[in-house]
Amino acid sequence: MDPKELCYKSVAELGKLIRTGDLSPLELVRAYLLRIADVKTILNSWITLLPERALKEAQKAEYDIVKGRYRGPLHGIPFGLKDVYKTKGIRTT
What is the pTM for the complete model shown? Answer: 0.92
Q: Residues 4-24: pLDDT tens digits?
A: 899 999 999 999 999 999 999
Q: Write the CA distances from 23 to 55, 84, 88, integer angstroms.
A: 15, 31, 30
Give the start-to-end residue ranges of the domains of the chain.
Answer: 1-93
**pLDDT of 87 above 90:** no
CA–CA separation, 19 and 42 (whole Å): 33
Q: Residues 43-86: pLDDT tens digits?
A: 988 889 999 999 999 999 999 999 999 999 999 999 998 888 88
Residue predicted with more confidence, 30 or 82: 30
**pLDDT of 25 above 90:** yes
